[in-house]
Structure 1
Amino acid sequence: MQVQAINQRARRLYGSFITAMDMVGQSFDSLDKLIEKVDDKTAPGGFTVATQDELKGLRQRAFDELDRLRSQAKKYEAELVSRDWRI
């Protein structure tokens, strides 16, 4: 009985984890729109602002890291849903 409760909790936590990654992935769409609004020619006095190319590179790097995390989660899915999580 206790093992089944742990499995249900682990499945629920894994589901929340996957949902959170999906939400972060969806936020990249709105980030693209924001990056397009950046004007490389104007910078507020005394401040350095990243260019569109730099922002696109950072966005791509973050997306790649999220994709790598998603791949690792899929690889260890069976283990993650079968064991209790330490929080």
Structure 2
Amino acid sequence: MALNLGSRDRLTTLPKVNRRALRKYGEFWRALQLVGDALAEAEKVAAKSTDGTRSKRGGKSVSAKAGGEGQHWSVASPDEISASAKKAHGSLKVMTSSAKRWEAELVSREWRK
């Protein structure tokens, strides 16, 4: 998902507003890439991890979920982490495709703060 900003000569001839819009779009695109990288890393970690929230006591498994033997915190299981990462990755794909579809308009218009 590389962003092609064109030649540097074209950047110097653009009006200041368009250069700012182009820079903002580049920052936005880079942020999308960073989120995608973080989600890929989360999926890798979830695939490598085991469910360490369960321990054996008396032949029964005990969870660290809220309410289990007075514990009031919970840890997401690897399956929950993987499912959440996949859901977020799907949302990121939708946002990325929308950003590509609207690229021309986002670059041509001024970005408001």
The TM tier, using the shorter chain, reads 0.7 to 0.9
User: Which is worse superposed, 70-79 or 26-35?
Assistant: 26-35
Query: Any gaps of 5 or more consecutive residues in structure 1?
Result: none
| 1:40, distance to aligned residue in structure 2 (A) | 5.3
- Residues 1:59 and 2:85 are matched in the alignment: yes
Q: Is the 8 A contact 2:32 2:96 kept in 1?
A: yes
Larger Rg: 2
Distance (Å, rounded) in 1 between the aligned partners of 2:50 and 2:18 = 47
Q: With the length of structure 2 as denominator, give the TM-score of the two structures.
A: 0.66
Q: Is the 8 A contact 2:42 2:81 kept in 1?
A: no
User: Which is worse superposed, 29-38 or 18-27?
Assistant: 29-38
Q: Which segments of structure 1 move beyond 6 Å, counting only runs of 4 or more?
A: none
Q: Which of 29, 45, 51 is the matching residue for 1:18? A: 29
Residue identity opposite 1:39 in structure 2: D
In the alignment, which residue of structure 2 is the partner of 1:78? 104
| 1:38, distance to aligned residue in structure 2 (A) | 4.2
Query: Any gaps of 5 or more consecutive residues in structure 2?
Result: 1-13, 55-62
In structure 2, the residue corresponding to 1:13 is in which secondary structure? helix
The two structures, once aligned, show a CA RMSD in angstroms of: 2.0
In the alignment, which residue of structure 2 is the partner of 1:31? 42
In structure 2, the residue corresponding to 1:84 is in which secondary structure? coil
Q: How many residues align?
A: 85
Q: Write 1 or 2 for the structure with the bigger share of strand.
A: 2
| 1:58, distance to aligned residue in structure 2 (A) | 0.8
Which fold has the larger relative contact order, with Cα–Cα distance below 8 Å and residues 6 or more apart in sequence?
1
